[in-house]
Chain A
Amino acid sequence: MKSSIAPRRAAAKAAARRGTLSGWAFSVPALVFYAAFVIYPLILGIQYSFYKWNGVGPSEFVGLKNYIRVFTDSTLLGSIGNAFVLIAFFTLIPVTAGLVLATLIRSMRPGPFSSLSQTILFLPQIIPLAAAGIAWSWMYAQTGAINQVLNAIGLGALARPWLGDFQTALPAVGLIGSWVLTGLCTVLFLTGIGKIDQSLYEAVRLDGASWWREFITITIPGLRQEIAVLVTITIIAALSSFDIIYTTTLGGPGRSTLVPGISIYRIGFTQSNVGLASAFGIVLMILVLACVLPIQRLARASSK
């Protein structure tokens, strides 16, 4: 508090004390919705996870059995593995590409071309992920554009139904994620670079530093905050992916693109094993936290 007039401050403080009750009253509506549709289902989910239940009949307490199954069942473990592979496509590629692109575009002057490119880069961020899935299913189809290009440049031997092939389905789905997220990364990095002191760049340039040196010594440290944010968001997107996979492969062929979100959906609603699906949901939540918390801590430590 900057105010130095003591009586005024005292009056405000007294008012604040009187307002405690009304202060809590202000937060009640938000708390009610949050408690009813996040905290309550969370507790319910934890409870379900210790039972064997098909959703309608009687339930049976099974202790940690559902959790043990999550960590021993090869299908479920496989879906967690796939989610981690997706991190390469949802996080590594977009963040790296975003950094490089933002550095290259940096020199662009504001104008119609720059705002048009911002619009286009953002488009994948605006359309529903499910629609992105449909667009790319068609790109990847046997008669789709990717194979068409391969045939045209004489690489027709490589052509295949990309989403139907055990080898290529997961990377193909992953690249849809890269397509969606690269624009967001680029534009966020561009605004970040705008905030870096331009004289730093001029100084290294005058020292005759290479493009790479400038990138490592100025751009990357200057964008630390943005990098932490984007890594967090994209890892969450990778681990909890659902929409894209649902509209492209539904986890197939076989289990090659099965991810936790699809597994939970299938186990819970198709196989009606509510306990196991709930346990997997809790594990997924902890997995996300375990990945995100260290990044947050790291970012906070480095910003101090």
Chain B
Amino acid sequence: MIVNKTELILGRVILIVVLVLTIIPLVNMLSAALQPADTNPTGLTFTGDPQWINFVTAFEKGNVWRLMGSSLFIVVFVVPVSLVCATLAGYALGNLRIPGARFLFIFFILGLTIPFEALIIPLYYEVQGLGILNTQWAVIFPLIGLYMPFSVIWMRAHFLGVPSELSEAARVDGASRWQEFRSIQLPLARPALSALAILLFLWTWNQFLLPVVLIADPLNRTVAGALTFFQGQYSSSIPLLNAGALIIIVPTILVFVIFQRQFIQALLQGAVKG
């Protein structure tokens, strides 16, 4: 590639500016979180005497253990159930080419662009009718349904890419549908499945609208949904609010940094296929 020096330097400088702009709001949270809890800090200033104790206070006052547990509970149901259902349906649509597959595919595509806000009112009354309003189930069941169109279309795209000779060979060899699915298709679907799992985890963990509307007690919500509770509780203390919010986002950032490559790949593929 032909690139001259000026361009190279210009590119670097602009990139660094953008990186700084990206990270400042987060650094700014940290700087505020380290100020004495009873003061009203000014902008981006670091104190010589950082109050790490704020994090301890925010952790205890915010019932963070309980919040994390609640989020985990929701994720532990939403992600595996969605994966299983989507894999089965994606296999049926992408590989088996069942009659009506096209119709079914379009039926799922219909659900892809429905904003959650359009369904939130009827969902509230549906969940109330089921008697699960204000429990974690009120978020778990609807989320599985709401993520289903994307998940099915994602898995269908994967199974479409698997050469059909593979399953034909298995069938001719007398493998049952289930045997073929278990021992040939599933191992091949591993990368598609793990990328989908990452996306579903992130979306569930960060889900805000459903927990806020469907679970009255903030402590039973996802951590993201509980942020409003922090806002109410720490309205008088900017340092504690920022400490609390940081505690909430740090685990996701840590998980992200560890699985970075997979995350970025999943998000990019997710964008393209979505």
Hey, which bits of chain A sit against chain B, CB under 8 A? 1-3, 8-9, 11-12, 15-16, 19-20, 22-24, 26-27, 29-31, 33-42, 44-45, 48, 55, 97, 101, 104-108, 115, 117-132, 134-136, 138-139, 141, 143-149, 179, 182-184, 186-188, 191, 198, 201-202, 205-206, 211, 225-226, 229-230, 233, 236, 239-240, 242-243, 246-247, 260-261, 264-265, 268-269, 274, 277-278, 281-282, 284-285, 288-289, 292
Judge if B86 is at the interface, Cβ distance under 8 Å.
Answer: yes
Contacts of A45 in B (CB 8 A): 118-119, 121-122
Hey, which bits of chain B sit against chain A, CB under 8 A? 1-3, 7-8, 10-12, 14-15, 18-19, 21-26, 28-29, 32, 40-45, 81, 84-86, 88-89, 91-93, 96-100, 104, 108, 111, 113-126, 141-142, 144-146, 148-149, 151-152, 164-165, 168, 171-172, 177, 202, 205-206, 208-209, 212-213, 223-225, 227-228, 230-231, 238, 241-242, 245, 248-249, 252-253, 256-257, 260, 263-264, 267-268, 271-272, 274
Contact A33 B141 (CB under 8 A): yes
Contacts of B108 in A (CB 8 A): 34
Q: How far is the CB of A36 from chain B (nearest CB, A)?
A: 6
**Other-chain residue from A123, A125, A247 in contact with B231 (beta carbon distance below 8 A):** A247
Contact B93 A16 (CB under 8 A): no
Contact B227 A48 (CB under 8 A): no
Contacts of A117 in B (CB 8 A): 15, 19
Contact A104 B172 (CB under 8 A): no
- Please indicate which of the listed interface residues B121, B124, B241, B264 has the most CB atoms of chain A within 10 Å of its own CB: B121
Contact A281 B212 (CB under 8 A): no
CA distance A119 to B259 in the complex (A): 11
Could you list 11 further interchain pairs (A-B, Cβ under 8 angstroms) beyond the known A107-B8, A278-B122? A11-B171, A30-B89, A33-B141, A41-B119, A119-B256, A131-B249, A132-B25, A134-B245, A225-B272, A230-B271, A285-B114
Contacts of B171 in A (CB 8 A): 11-12, 15
Once A23-B92, A29-B88, A37-B142 are accepted as A-B contacts, the answer to whether A122 and B245 lie under 8 Å apart by CB is: no
Q: How far is the CB of B77 from chain A (nearest CB, A)?
A: 12
Contact B252 A281 (CB under 8 A): no
Contact A211 B7 (CB under 8 A): yes
CA distance A184 to B202 in the complex (A): 15
Q: How far is the CB of B71 from chain A (nearest CB, A)?
A: 11
Contact B209 A143 (CB under 8 A): no
- Select from chain A the residue with minimum beta-carbon distance to B149: A34
- Select from chain B the residue with minimum beta-carbon distance to A132: B25
Contacts of A121 in B (CB 8 A): 18-19, 22
CA distance A132 to B21 in the complex (A): 13
Contact A33 B144 (CB under 8 A): yes
CA distance A105 to B12 in the complex (A): 7
CA distance A11 to B167 in the complex (A): 12
Chain A at the B interface: SS class: helix
Contact B96 A48 (CB under 8 A): no
Once A143-B40, A144-B43 are accepted as A-B contacts, the answer to whether A278 and B121 lie under 8 Å apart by CB is: yes
Q: How far is the CB of B145 from chain A (nearest CB, A)?
A: 3
Contacts of B223 in A (CB 8 A): 128
Contact A26 B89 (CB under 8 A): yes
Q: How far is the CB of A185 from chain B (nearest CB, A)?
A: 9
Contact B118 A284 (CB under 8 A): yes
Q: How far is the CB of A108 from chain B (nearest CB, A)?
A: 7
Contacts of A101 in B (CB 8 A): 14-15, 18
Once A19-B177, A128-B208, A201-B1 are accepted as A-B contacts, the answer to whether A30 and B152 lie under 8 Å apart by CB is: yes
CA distance A243 to B241 in the complex (A): 17
Contact B228 A240 (CB under 8 A): no
Contacts of A138 in B (CB 8 A): 25, 28-29, 32, 238, 241-242
CA distance A39 to B100 in the complex (A): 18
CA distance A223 to B122 in the complex (A): 40
Once A121-B19, A139-B25, A281-B119 are accepted as A-B contacts, the answer to whether A42 and B208 lie under 8 Å apart by CB is: no
Contact B208 A41 (CB under 8 A): no
- Please indicate which of the listed interface residues A42, A48, A126, A274 has the most CB atoms of chain B within 10 Å of its own CB: A126
CB<8 Å pairs between A and B, sample of 8: A34-B111, A35-B145, A104-B14, A117-B15, A120-B23, A131-B227, A132-B25, A229-B272
**Other-chain residue from A15, A24, A31, A107 in contact with B98 (beta carbon distance below 8 A):** A24
CA distance A123 to B97 in the complex (A): 40
CA distance A285 to B271 in the complex (A): 20
Contact A126 B85 (CB under 8 A): no
- Select from chain A the residue with minimum beta-carbon distance to B23: A120
Once A34-B111, A36-B145 are accepted as A-B contacts, the answer to whether A187 and B177 lie under 8 Å apart by CB is: no
Once A128-B227, A246-B212 are accepted as A-B contacts, the answer to whether A236 and B89 lie under 8 Å apart by CB is: no
Contacts of A23 in B (CB 8 A): 92, 96, 98, 177
CA distance A189 to B48 in the complex (A): 42
Q: How far is the CB of B234 from chain A (nearest CB, A)?
A: 10
